Chain A
Amino acid sequence: MNYEMTIGLEVHAELNTATKIYCSCQNVFGAEVNSHCCPICTGMPGTLPTLNEKVVEYAVKMGHALNCKINPVSKQDRKNYFYPDLPKAYQISQYDIPLCENGYLDVIVDESGATKRIGVTRIHIEEDAGKLLHDESFSGSLVDFNRCGVPLIEIVSEPDMHSSAEAKAYLETIKSILQYIDISDCKMQEGSIRCDINVSVRRPGDPLGTRCEMKNVNTFSGAVRAIEYEAKRQIEILEAGGTIGQETRRWDDAKGQNFLLRSKEDSQDYRYFPEPDLLTIVIDEGDIQKWKEELPELPNKKLKRYMQSNGLPYFDANLLTENPEKAAFFEACVEKGICKAKNISNWLLGDVSKLLNEKNIMLSDTCLTPEKLTDMIAMIEKGTISVTAGKMVLEDIAFSEKTAEESVKEKGLAQISDTGALEEIVKSVIAANPKSVADYKGGKTNVVGFLVGQCMRQSKGQGNPAVLKQIIETMLQKD
């Protein structure tokens, strides 16, 4: 029996404001335990919150990026529950009037660049809780309050996704937008993006099935596994004649399973009510407009432009637009106008990426500039240096102040296209490889590539491979 799955996502993203949402503590990750907290974010008696206005700005920018209606007047509410990492015993959040509502996100679903529209129900601001620590040397639990009051936005989607791939594309696009508008560090390993996933299944044509929610999924690949697992679990229950109960389940990525946290009957009553310590949030229409204008070109639009105007395939455009740093570098290179966009893309996604990955660094950690890179690629396009030489130049210019030209000169890598000089090299290579010559004569013409390689080696990468190939073929046919 066929089933269709329906997925809705709640994404929590930590914002990268300088200070926390309701106090002036620094908003940093990885500091010494309980070193970035104060009487306010630890909810000491008598203390009061005051709203960091940057948080509103960041959330509204995300609202614009997701095509939301921005509410110029919104309010904050208390969500009440007891837990040791929540020192006030309530979280300040937004209940019935969030900052942003009724938006959508167009997610690219195939290599033609075709998109699917996913509804965005709302975006609201709230504060993060602390973290419980468990220490072997101590029988109880310890609490680290550094994360208390770190600003979060919660982005709630409509149940518009019907496969784990769509959910993954949605999550990746959200992440990429957060990076483009520079409001979140998006460091998954630090938990700066987390999601809750709602999944239901139904037979085609039936009304929506009962949904189950999985809490705290920390990676996108984990989200895919969690969705697949949950859909399978529900289908198995239905196939066995059972019914699905509305439940909250905990995804354990290590075990690849989820576990019941609570069923609907035990669902918590958070007793939301308006936060009396804070004023209504009123945003100036001028600011709403200004923040909209400040938005950069967003990744999906950029991706389509790279495909249409720069003639790049989806694969390239997708990788280049993944983060704003890479995209900006690519665009600066194209702007130089001295080499082909596809060649720039090949180098950026090929050797440059490889170099960064090997050293685990960012582009900004190197000395590479769009000027240096395009000069180098232009020299290859003109035949001044070989591709092999280009790879050597790249390593050199990436970690020194040298220009591409200086590097080529210093290393003596300028390509030899002079037939006289190259003929000497070819002669010696042919002499040293009688077997290859025999193979060629026996009809194995592909040995030419091997011989070109040998010649390149002997010329220390400076021989022009196209000229070499011609000389080799002429000589072999002459004999």
Chain B
Amino acid sequence: MTAASLSEKLQKKECSAVEIAHSVFGQIAKVEGTIGSFVTVCEEQALEQAKEVDRKIAAGEDLSPLAGIPIGVKDNICTKDVLTSCGSKMLSNFQPPYNATVVDKLEQAGAVIVGKCNMDEFAMGSSCETSYFKPAKNPWNPDYVPGGSSGGSASCVSAGEAVLALGSDTGGSIRLPASYCGVVGLKPTYGSVSRYGLVAFASSLDQIGPLGRSVADVASLYSVICGKDPMDATSAQREYGDFCQGMNRSVKGLRIGIPQEYFGEGVEPQVKAAVMAGIQRLAEEGAQAVNITLPSTDYALSAYYIISSAEASSNLARFDGVKYGYRAKDYTNLIDMYEKTRSEGFGDEVKRRIMLGTFVLSSGFYDAYYKRAKQMQQRIAQEYADAFQQCDVILTPTSPSPAFRVGERTDDPLKMYAADVCTVTVNIAGLPAISVPCGISENGLPIGMQMIGPKFSEQMLFDVAGCYETICGGFGIAPSMKGEGGQTK
């Protein structure tokens, strides 16, 4: 069931928020052992929140569409007094004394936070396998990864362990797992959602965004979390409407750009075919396909890894064992404490990126790497701006392939990084993009289609995605998760 229909049932008093919560925790009890969506399950707290919503309903108070809706929150988003581990040993004991702005907004809206979602360590990864605690699995087939880094956020929504989830997207970390798990995921325009309380990976690229089982659900969660925050200097000052109310699900006369670079050799034929079929169905609804070109796409992945690792090397330097988080047990002096804490507290992928980032910022190498990557960033943003002169929205695969097997790419970082090839340019250019399911692979796994718009064009993306959703007859929970008790009530 979607948040929208649950909300309606709540309003009509056909069920209570506590009943919805129980149903979700029932599902968690059933499948969490296999899927591993959560680092922390907050059952007690969630039931309290649900009771409060029921009290408000009984009192006849006005409620937000998210009131009583079970939601998962990625574990790099700070929740007051609740473990916020970032999937790392380094923060395996860290309970922030403050909420992220988005969590405050969820609480004000009466959403019920069911748990903290599993993730790749510090959001670095494309498979949710670098989590210190456990890998999350794909609800469509637990032999496969759910994608990353917001793997737990996508898997909990897909497995019916939550109705909605928040993830974060630095290079594809919402869209990739959304596509692998067959759910809808939005990476919002940079600056439209406050980053305050999101433990930073790459500050200039990170953005919190919603995942859900329908476009309307994603739109209503986005409506709650977006907006200017005085605590985040990079958040944009502008008016946002209610994106769910504003949807018209029409693509008549819309120009859909198809960039040839995103349908090249690296992309599996079945993925190409599924996305092209999706475009075809939108064309049948009155959209017009336009071939466009984004020539610098080939350089995007390199530029992305340089910029994001550079920022990460600085952002993650604060984890030094001095004030909070993990500290090595035995050390002889300050430097030794730093070295041992960081050697023991971080996993391999995080260390790899810290080393890369430190290197590209070092004197003598800065101009050759960081500076050139920033120049490439401008070029990519300009190419997008040019492309949007010829089309309204750009459609691409979300990833070159469907989900891969657990363990398949863990020893090959470059192959792992390649999963992000279709998504990173969006972060580099600060654009919004949504991933929607557009087919099933030969081995029964979902394939995702990415829709990219100009800055602050989320409403249009919801319209296009919503139109496609209507054509498909809706998305939903992973088939293997259905069945007895499998569906939320």
Contact = CB atoms under 8 A, between A and B. Distances in A.
A311 interface: no
Contact of B322 (A48, A50, A143, A277): A143
A80 B322 contact: no
A122 interface: no
B96 A42 contact: no
Interface string A72-108: 0000001010101001111000000000000000000
A298 B197 CA distance: 45
B216 to A, nearest CB: 29
A45 B318 contact: yes
B82 interface: no
Given A45-B94, A88-B317, A90-B314, A276 B322 contact: no
B317 A82 contact: yes
Residue of B94, B234, B318, B324 with most partner-chain A CB within 10 A: B318
A279 interface: yes
A277 B203 contact: yes
A321 to B, nearest CB: 40
Nearest to A83: B334
Contacts of B317: 80, 82, 88-90
Given A45-B91, A84-B322, A50 B358 contact: no
A434 interface: no
A206 interface: no
Contacts of B311: 273, 276
A349 interface: no
Contacts, number: 101
Contacts of A272: 361
Given A48-B231, A271-B358, A279-B234, A87 B314 contact: no
Contacts of B363: 269, 271
Contact of A273 (B318, B320, B361): B361
A276 B96 contact: no
A46 interface: yes
Given A50-B231, A143-B322, A276-B203, A271 B314 contact: yes
A238 to B, nearest CB: 30
Nearest to A273: B361
Contacts of B94: 45
Nearest to A81: B317
A338 interface: no
Main secondary structure of the interface of B (DSSP, over half): loop
A51 to B, nearest CB: 7
B320 A82 contact: yes
A320 B23 CA distance: 80
B408 interface: no
A271 to B, nearest CB: 4
Interface in A31-78: 39, 42-51, 78
B230 interface: yes
A78 B318 contact: no
Nearest to B91: A45
A278 interface: yes
Given A45-B96, A46-B96, A80-B314, A271 B362 contact: yes
B200 A279 contact: no
Contacts of A279: 233-234
Contacts of B362: 269, 271
Contacts of B138: none
B233 A45 contact: no
Nearest to B321: A84
A78 B314 contact: yes
Contacts of B91: 45
B133 interface: no
B96 A50 contact: no
A65 to B, nearest CB: 28
B412 to A, nearest CB: 29
B174 interface: no
B200 A88 contact: no
Interface in A253-305: 269, 271-273, 276-279
5 contacts: A42-B323, A45-B319, A46-B196, A46-B200, A273-B311
Interface of A: 39, 42-51, 78, 80, 82, 84, 87-90, 143, 269, 271-273, 276-279
Given A39-B96, A45-B86, A46-B78, 20 more contacts: A42-B323, A45-B84, A45-B94, A45-B324, A46-B98, A46-B196, A46-B197, A48-B234, A80-B317, A87-B318, A90-B314, A90-B317, A143-B323, A273-B311, A273-B370, A276-B203, A276-B311, A277-B200, A278-B233, A279-B233
